[in-house]
Structure 1
Amino acid sequence: MKDFVHLHVHTEYSLLDGSNRIKDLIQRIKELGMNSVAITDHGVMYGVVEFYKEALKNGIKPILGCEIYTAKRNMQDKQPGVDSDYGHLVLLAKNQTGYKNLMKIVSLGFTEGFYYKPRVDYQTLEKYSEGIIALSACLSGDIPAAILNNDYEKAVELANRLNTIFGQDNFYLELQHNGISDQNLVNQQLIKLSKELGIPLVATNDAHFLTREAAQSHEILLCIQTGKTINDENRMKFNTDEVYVKSPEEMYENFRNVESALENTVKIAEMCNVELEFGKLHLPGFTVEEGYTPYEYLKEKCYKGLVQKFGENCSEEIKERLEYELSVISSMGYVDYFLIVWDFIRYARENDIMVGPGRGSAAGSVVSYCLGITSIDPLKYNLLFERFLNPERISMPDIDIDFCYERRQEVIDYVISKYGKDKVSQIITFGTMAARAAIRDVGRALDVPYGEVDVIAKMIPFQIGMNIDKALEINPELKKKYELEDDTRLLIDTARSLEGLPRHASTHAAGVVISKEPIVEYVPLQLNENNVTTQFTMGLLEELGLLKMDFLGLRTLTVIRDAVNLVEQGHNKKIDINNINFDDHDVYKMIGEGKTVGIFQLESAGMTQFMKELQPSSLEDIIAGISLYRPGPMDQIPRYIRNKNNPKEIKYHHPMLENILNVTYGCMVYQEQVMQIVRELGGYSYGRSDLVRRAMSKKKVSVMEQERKNFIYGITDEEGNEVVRGAVKNGVDEFTANKIFDEMMDFASYAFNKSHAAAYAVVAYQTAWLKHYYPVEFLAASLNSFLGSSDKVSQYVNECKVLNIKVLPPDVNESNVKFTVVNQKIRFGLAAVKNVGENAIQSMIAERTQNGLFTTFLDFCQRIEGREINKRCIESLIKSGAFDSLKVFRSRLMAVYERFLDGIAQAKRKAWRVSFPSLI
C-alpha cells in the first residue's frame, strides 16, 4: 500500500515560494517509497501550488485539499458561547470542478462564515459539492465528536447527510491511528457505521510533522502560535508523538484488520486528478469606445502621446521604436494590460493624484512614455524595452506605480469600482521567523529567562541573509556557548528547526490583483484585518496568469505635491514639476556641496559623501549614483569618480565599447549596458541579450560557458543560418572578447536596472530643485510628511536652522494641524506636539475659527473646557511654547494650569446645580 498518505499540513509545511518545508515533505514521501500524497491544511489552501509543482517535479502525484471548519448552525450565525464551537471535515479535489469548488468553499469560510475560525455550513457544502471527495476527519470531525459524546444517532444522521451531499463513493469514514485512546473507540464505531450504512472506510495518516523526532519542535511551535510556554499545563498539545508521516509498512501494520480502508487510499488517489494551469492569461478585458478594437484604441492613444512628447515632426526612429513595441505588446497578448494601466493612471492625473515618473523596467518603454504611464524619455537615457518586455522571454509585464502616499487608496477604489469588487483583491504576504526572532520565540516558549535569551539573540549578527548556522560559523563566542551549555544547545537547535517558518500572514503593502472572472475562480481568498486578500502570494498569481501590480504609496510624492501647493499659495505661482529644467547647474552644485537633507535617495550620510566626491553635473550622474551606491557595485565608485574628473584616464577594451560606456565614464554600471555589449559586439538580438543578462546575474556556470563561445564565435542554426554573429566576426579579437566577457560576468550579478534608477533620479532631482528654489515650502512639506516621527522632525528643523529658515514654535492662535508657511517662516504644526491628538487640535481650531482668537490663558481654558483636551495635552502645549504669544511665562502657566482647569470644571458643575436643583 504505497499510494496515499493523508496529511493535515500545518504551518510548518505551508506556503512560501520554494519553501524548504514542502521540499522536505516531498523528499520524505519519496524516501518512504510512496507515489502520491494529499495536502490538507486547516481552513486554508496555503502552499497548494508550491506543493503541486514540487510533487510533480519529483514524480509524486499531488492531491489537493483542505481540512475545513464546519459551523454547528448556519455559518452566518455568530452568537457568543454558541457558535464558537466548530467541527472538522476533510475535502479533496477530484478534478478541475472540485478544485474550483474547494476554493469557493474555503473563501466563503473567511468572507461570510468567519467566527474565530473560517467556518462553512452544510448548505454551502451542498451548493459546491461537485467534484469533491469528503472524509470524516480527525477526532474533531462532526461524526467522531458525536461518537465521543455518546450520540450514535447523531453520528448516523451526519454520516447519511454527508453521504447524500457528496454522493456514494465520494464520502468516506476516516480511520486514524495516532496513539490517542479516544481514537480507538471512534474507529470501532466508524467501522460499525460503515457496515450499517454502506459508507466506505479510508485509512489516513494525520501528520503534523515529518518524523517522530520532530514532536518536541512541533510542541514548541504550538506554544509560539498560542502564546504559551512549555510549562503551562493548560497549553494546546497533542498528547502523542504519533502524528508524523508514517511509512506504508506502518500504515499496513496499523490497519491490517481493515484492508478495505487501505485499499480505498489507492482508490481515492486514482480518482483525484487535478491539473493546475500555468501561463494562460486571465486578464480582464478593457472596454473601448465603439468602432475601435483594443489594439486600435491603444495605438491611437500612443500616437496622440507621441505628438505631445516628441512633437509632430518626430523622427522615423522614434516611430519605428513605437511600432515595434506595439507589435510585441500585441503579439504577447498584453494590449488590455496596457489600457488598464493607462486608464487608472489617467484617472489619477485627472484627479490631481500625484503619480511617480516610473518604477522598474517599465520606464524603458516608449509606449509607457507616450501613454503617460511613465514620464521619463527612454530614448534620451538609452533605456531598453527588452529589459521590460521580451518576446523571447515569456513573462508578464511588471508595471509598478508610485502614487501620492495619502491618496493611493483612491486609485485602488477606482479600479474596484470599474472592474467589480469580486474581481479585484489585495494580495497576501507572509512574515517568517528570522534567526533572532526564532531564538526569542523559542526562548519564550521554553520558559528561559529573558536575560539569557537576549544575550544569545544578540550574538546573531544583524545583517541581510543571516541564519543560525552562519552565526555559529562566524561568531566564536556563540559557538562556544553552544558547545559547552546544554540549555543553550537546546535553545539553538530548536530555533534552528523552526527558523524560516511562516510566522504570520498579512496584507501586502502595495500588491493588487485584477482578474477577468471573479478572483475566487482562480485562487482562494481570505480576510486579513478586514481586507479581502488572496491566499496565494504575488509570484504564484503571476504564474497562474493573473494580472498583478503594485500600487505603491511614495511619501516623497506627497512632499512634492504639498511643496508645490505651498508655493502656489505663497507666491501665486503654479509649478509643473514634470517640466522643470533638469540641466540646472545650481541644483547640481547644491547636491555636490552635500546639502542633501530631504532629497529623495540622496540624504543618507554615505550617499551625501558620495555626492560631494562625485560633484554631479547631469541627471546621468544622479542615475549612476543611485545605481552604484549598493553592496557590490560600490567597488566601482572610486573608478567612476576618478574617470569623471580625469576623462583622459578612461580606457576601453575595444573602441566599440565607447558609445556604450562613455555615459558612465568607462565603467559598467547598468544591466542595460550588458545587453548593449552583447548585442553590438556579439551580434545578439535584444531579446536574446536579455536572456544572457539574466543567466549572468544568476551565475549559471554551464550556461555561461556556452554563452561565452556564442558571444565570441557566434551561433548558426541547423540550416546554417546565423543566429548570433559573434564578436570575432565583428572585429573583436579573441583575447579581448574573452576579457570583455569576463568583466561582464564579474559585474552582471550586481548590475542595476537603469530604467528604475533613471525614474528615481528624476524624483531625486525634483526634490533637490524644490529645495534649492523654494526651501521654506519644501522643508515645511517635508516636516508634514513625518509628523509622527520626532527624529525626522528634529532632523528637518535642524536643516531649517542651517539654511537660516526660522521655525516658529506652535501657537494656539496661529498653528494648524500641519506645519504652515507664514511670511517665509515655518510655523510648527500642532500634530507634531507630543500628547496633542487630532481631535484636540480640531476642537481648538474650530473654537478659534467660530469665536475668535484666544485672548488669555484663562480664556482658552474656559472656551475649551468639556472638549477633548485633557491636562496632559495642556501641559505639552505649555512646554512647547504654544501659549507664548499670550505673554505669560511658561513656568507660571505650569504652576497654575491644573487649578484653572479644576476651578472652571467646578464652577460649571455648581452652575448646573443652581439651574437644575430638582434633579439633585
Structure 2
Amino acid sequence: MGMENFAHLHCHTEFSMLDGAARIDDLFAAAEQQGMPALGMTDHGNMFGAFAFWEASKKTSVKPVIGLEAYLTPKTHRSERKRVAFGDGTGDDVSSKGAYTHMTIWAENPDGMHNLFRLSSKSSLEGYFYKPRADRELLNRYAKGLIATTGCPSGEVQTYLRLGKYEDARASAAEFRDIFGANNFFVELMDHGLIIEKRVRDDLLQIAKDLNLPLLASNDLHYVHEKDADAQDTLLCINSGSRKNEEGRFKFDGSGYYLKPAAEMRALFADVPQACDNSLIIADRVTTEFDTGIGQYMPRFDCPDGEDEDSWFKTSVMNGLHQRYGDMLSEEVQARAEMEIGIITSMKFSGYFLVVADFINWAKRNGIRVGPGRGSGAGSICAYALRITDLCPLEHGLLFERFLNPDRVSMPDFDIDFDDRRRTEVIDYVSHKYGSDKVAQIVTYGSIKAKQAVKDAGRVLDMPFALGEKLTKAMPAPVMGKDLSLAALFDEKHDRYSEGSEFRELYQNEPGAKLVIETATGIEGLKRQWGVHAAGVIMSWAPLEDIIPVMKREQDGAIITQFDYHGCEELGLIKMDFLGLRNLTVIDDAVRNIKDNRGIDLNLDELPLDDKPTYELLARGDTLGVFQLDGGPMRALLKSMQPDKFEDISAVVALYRPGPMGADSHNKYARRKTGKEEIEPIHAELTEPLADILNETYG
C-alpha cells in the first residue's frame, strides 16, 4: 500500500439521516476512481448502514472499514439522564448542553465488529438521553478488536482543551489509551479552516507527544463530491426546520467535507505526514467480514423429551391431519403430506413450522382473531394440519411448490394476520417464550421521494408555498405504486417522458422553479428517517445483539433491529409476519355483536362458500371495507367480472397485481368469463394437455 495514498476513514453516509449526504454506492465508486484502498463508515450513533456498506464494497476493489461516531456520556454512568458541564456551560462546553461528547470508533476484525454492534445496542437500550450514549463501562467491556480516536471537535479531549483544561484532556486521552490499548487509540486531526479546530491543534499534538499516541488525519466527510455541499446543507435545513436565508441557523462552517483526493489531504497535513500514513496503516489492519447464510439462526422449538424438531413435526402433522380429515386418511392426503414433510425436513424448516404453529394456536386459544391464511403458505397441507392456516389446499387446488421448492432455496414466509388491537399480545408472547433478547421488530428506512424533495426544497429556499404546490401537481402520478424520479422527468429515453411536459415547462419558465428542482434533485433518494416494518418480527435462537445491532424505540420500549429486512435475512435471521389487520377487528366485533344481539354463535370456518346473495353483492361492487376488495378500480373489476364462485374471488385478488395488470390479464379474465371475448389457447397443441389447469381460468 503506497504511502502517497490516503484512506478516508471518518465518513458520514446517508444513514446519518438528514446530516450525511454521501450515497454509499456513489462513495465507493468515487473512492475506486481515485484509487483509494479503503473507506470507513462512521455514522452518527447508529450502525444502520454497516451491512449495506459492506455489500456495496463487494462491487469494488475498495476495502470497507466499519465504524461508528459514538456518543459518549460526559463521564457519567449511561443510566444517568442529566446534563454535565466540564466548564462554564458556554458553547465551548459539552455538546447538547452537557448531554454527550463524541468518539470515533472502528472495528479491526469481525470480533471487533460484533463488539461495536453490542456497544451500539447497549448505548440505545441502556444509555439513551437525547442520543444513544455509551459510557466508560461499555467501552471497557467491548474494547477488544476496536480502534478509537479522540474524535471530532465535540470529543471529550477537545472539549477540555477548548476550556483550557489541558491536564484533564491529557488524563482523558490516557484513560482511553488504557481502555483500547496503546496501538489502538489515535489523536484525530481535522482541518476545515475552522477556528474551533485551530484552537486545539497544538495541544492535540502535545498530548500525542506526551502519551506517545499516533496521529490520524481525517476529513469528517459528509458528501461525496464538492458540488454536493449544497445538498448536504439542504438536509441540515430540513433537519432543523430552517430556511437557507435564516441568520444564525445551524450549518457547517468551513468547507471541504467531501472525498478529497489523497494529494489534497497530504498537502493539508504536510507538517504531520504520519497522520495520513496512519489512515493507510489502520485500513491495512482491518478485516471486515459478515457471516451470511440463509436460515442459520432459525428459532428452535422446545420439543418433548425423546423428540427432536423433525420427529415432533412429523408427529404433530399426522395428529393434525387426523383432526382435519378423520381417522382414515385418503391416499391423496397421505401422499401430499409425505411429499411436504420430506421437503420441509430436508430443508431443515421443521422448527420454523412448529414455532409458527405455536404462537398462532396460542393466539386462537386466547381469543385473538387470526386470519385463515393468506399468500403462498396456504398451499401447505402441513400448515393446514398444524392449524397455521384454515384452508384445505387440496380442496382449493393450491400448490405447495409456490411456498417451498427445494430447487429455489429461500426461507418460508407465512403471511399471518391478527386482530389489530391484540397483535402486540402475540409479540409479547413470543418474546417471553423464546427470549426477549432473541425477538425484535424490523427497522425500515424512509427515503426522500421526488414530490417530497420538491416540497422540502421549496420550503428551505423560502419560496412561495404556491410554487411547490404547482410543481408537485404537475408531476405524473405513480403507476402501480412506482413514482417517477426527477431525473426520469428529464430523460428523453424514459417511456413516461411525455407525461412530464408540464413539469419541464415550469422548470424553464416559472420563476424560482429551476432552483427548487435542482435543489430537490440533490436530496432525492437520500434517507430521511427510520421507521418500523408493519408486520415483520425477527426471531432467533441466539441473542440478537451477538448477530446484529439493535435499538430501543423510546416511545414504547419496543426493540428494533438496526439492519433492515434484507440485511437480517442475508445474515440468516428469520422474519415472522405479525400483521395487525383492522378487518379482523371489525369481523371479531361483528361476530360478538351477532352473539350479543341475536344469540347466534357464528363459526366463520363453517360458512358456506356458495352463498348466492354474497356473490350478488360482489358483482354489484358493494365491497367497501372488504379486505383487498374495497378500492375503486377493484370494485369496477368485480362489476365487470360478475363473480359467482369462490374461484373467481381467488382469481380477482391474484390478477389485481402489477404483473398481470400490465398484460391486461385481469380484464381479459373478466371479458372471457362473461362471454365478451373468445377464449384463445396459448398454443393450439397445448389446449388439451393444459385443459385441467387452464380451463377454470378461461385460458
TM-score greater than 0.5 by the shorter chain: yes
Partner residue, 1:412 = 427
Tell me if structure 1 keeps the 8 A contact 2:416–2:578.
Answer: yes
Tell me if structure 2 keeps the 8 A contact 1:105–1:128.
Answer: yes
Partner residue, 1:76 = 79
In structure 2, relative to structure 1, the CA distance for the partners of 1:191 and 1:648 (3 Å cut) is closer
| CA distance in 1: counterparts of 2:413 and 2:107, whole angstroms | 32
| CA distance in 2: counterparts of 1:394 and 1:257, whole angstroms | 56
1:292-331 matched pairs, under 5 angstroms: 292-331=307-346
Partner residue, 1:518 = 543
How far 1:492 sits from its partner (Å)?
Answer: 0.5
Tell me if structure 2 keeps the 8 A contact 1:14–1:46.
Answer: no
Tell me if structure 2 keeps the 8 A contact 1:173–1:200.
Answer: yes
Partner residue, 1:62 = 64
Higher RCO by CA contacts (8 Å cutoff, separation 6 or greater): 2
SS across alignment from 2:578: strand
Partner residue, 2:455 = 440
One-letter amino acid of the structure 2 residue matched with residue 8 of structure 1:
C
How far 1:327 sits from its partner (Å)?
Answer: 1.9
Partner residue, 1:143 = 157
Partner residue, 1:429 = 444
| CA distance in 2: counterparts of 1:13 and 1:416, whole angstroms | 30
| CA distance in 2: counterparts of 1:63 and 1:12, whole angstroms | 15
Q: Is it true that 1:639 corresponds to 2:673 in the alignment?
A: no
SS across alignment from 1:28: helix
Tell me if structure 2 keeps the 8 A contact 1:78–1:84.
Answer: no
1:597-746 matched pairs, under 5 angstroms: 597-631=624-658, 633-634=660-661, 635-646=664-675, 649-652=678-681, 653=683, 654=686, 655-666=688-699
Tell me if structure 2 keeps the 8 A contact 1:278–1:544.
Answer: yes
Tell me if structure 2 keeps the 8 A contact 1:129–1:166.
Answer: yes
| CA distance in 2: counterparts of 1:255 and 1:648, whole angstroms | 77
CA deviation map 1:421-450 (0-9, x unaligned):
221111111222111111111111111122
Q: Is it true that 1:580 corresponds to 2:607 in the alignment?
A: yes
| CA distance in 2: counterparts of 1:403 and 1:613, whole angstroms | 32
How far 1:584 sits from its partner (Å)?
Answer: 2.5
CA deviation map 1:38-58 (0-9, x unaligned):
101010011110110110221
SS across alignment from 1:573: coil
In structure 2, relative to structure 1, the CA distance for the partners of 1:366 and 1:216 (3 Å cut) is same
Q: Is it true that 1:468 corresponds to 2:486 in the alignment?
A: yes
How far 1:250 sits from its partner (Å)?
Answer: 1.2
How far 1:486 sits from its partner (Å)?
Answer: 6.1
- Please say which structure displays the higher CA radius of gyration: 1
How far 1:461 sits from its partner (Å)?
Answer: 2.4
1:103-122 matched pairs, under 5 angstroms: 103-122=117-136
| CA distance in 2: counterparts of 1:416 and 1:329, whole angstroms | 25
How far 1:551 sits from its partner (Å)?
Answer: 0.5
How far 1:26 sits from its partner (Å)?
Answer: 0.7
CA deviation map 1:736-783 (0-9, x unaligned):
xxxxxxxxxxxxxxxxxxxxxxxxxxxxxxxxxxxxxxxxxxxxxxxx
Q: Which moved more, 1:231-240 or 1:599-608?
A: 599-608
In structure 2, relative to structure 1, the CA distance for the partners of 1:276 and 1:491 (3 Å cut) is same
How far 1:604 sits from its partner (Å)?
Answer: 3.4
Tell me if structure 2 keeps the 8 A contact 1:179–1:242.
Answer: no
Q: Which has the higher helix share?
A: 1
In structure 2, relative to structure 1, the CA distance for the partners of 1:453 and 1:197 (3 Å cut) is same
How far 1:314 sits from its partner (Å)?
Answer: 2.5
How far 1:272 sits from its partner (Å)?
Answer: 1.3
In structure 2, relative to structure 1, the CA distance for the partners of 1:594 and 1:37 (3 Å cut) is closer
How far 1:362 sits from its partner (Å)?
Answer: 1.0
Tell me if structure 2 keeps the 8 A contact 1:45–1:524.
Answer: yes
| CA distance in 2: counterparts of 1:90 and 1:412, whole angstroms | 36
Q: What TM-score, normalized to structure 2?
A: 0.91
How far 1:152 sits from its partner (Å)?
Answer: 1.2
Q: Which moved more, 1:424-433 or 1:602-611?
A: 602-611
| Matched positions, count | 663
1:740-755 matched pairs, under 5 angstroms: none
**Identity level (%):** 39
| CA distance in 2: counterparts of 1:185 and 1:598, whole angstroms | 65
Partner residue, 1:123 = 137
| CA distance in 1: counterparts of 2:407 and 2:270, whole angstroms | 56
1:107-506 matched pairs, under 5 angstroms: 107-279=121-293, 281-463=296-478, 464-472=482-490, 473=497, 474-485=499-510, 487-506=512-531
In structure 2, relative to structure 1, the CA distance for the partners of 1:390 and 1:422 (3 Å cut) is same
Partner residue, 1:826 = none
Q: Is it true that 1:563 corresponds to 2:590 in the alignment?
A: yes
| CA distance in 1: counterparts of 2:675 and 2:22, whole angstroms | 51
CA deviation map 1:190-221 (0-9, x unaligned):
22222221111112221001111111221111
SS across alignment from 1:169: helix
In structure 2, relative to structure 1, the CA distance for the partners of 1:263 and 1:630 (3 Å cut) is closer
Partner residue, 2:88 = none
How far 1:237 sits from its partner (Å)?
Answer: 1.2
Tell me if structure 2 keeps the 8 A contact 1:13–1:22.
Answer: no
| CA distance in 1: counterparts of 2:408 and 2:368, whole angstroms | 34
Q: What TM-score, normalized to structure 1?
A: 0.70
Q: Which moved more, 1:643-652 or 1:350-359?
A: 643-652
Q: Which moved more, 1:125-134 or 1:468-477?
A: 468-477
CA deviation map 1:314-342 (0-9, x unaligned):
32232222122222222222211111101
How far 1:94 sits from its partner (Å)?
Answer: 1.1
RMSD: 2.1
| CA distance in 1: counterparts of 2:394 and 2:172, whole angstroms | 69
Partner residue, 2:567 = 540
How far 1:125 sits from its partner (Å)?
Answer: 0.5
CA deviation map 1:139-188 (0-9, x unaligned):
11111222222211111101100000001101111122222133234332
| CA distance in 2: counterparts of 1:174 and 1:299, whole angstroms | 60
Partner residue, 1:51 = 53
Tell me if structure 1 keeps the 8 A contact 2:101–2:155.
Answer: yes
How far 1:259 sits from its partner (Å)?
Answer: 2.2
In structure 2, relative to structure 1, the CA distance for the partners of 1:362 and 1:559 (3 Å cut) is same
| CA distance in 2: counterparts of 1:128 and 1:478, whole angstroms | 54
One-letter amino acid of the structure 1 residue matched with residue 541 of structure 2:
K
CA deviation map 1:527-553 (0-9, x unaligned):
333322111111211111112122001
1:31-42 matched pairs, under 5 angstroms: 31-42=33-44
1:824-863 matched pairs, under 5 angstroms: none
SS across alignment from 1:7: coil
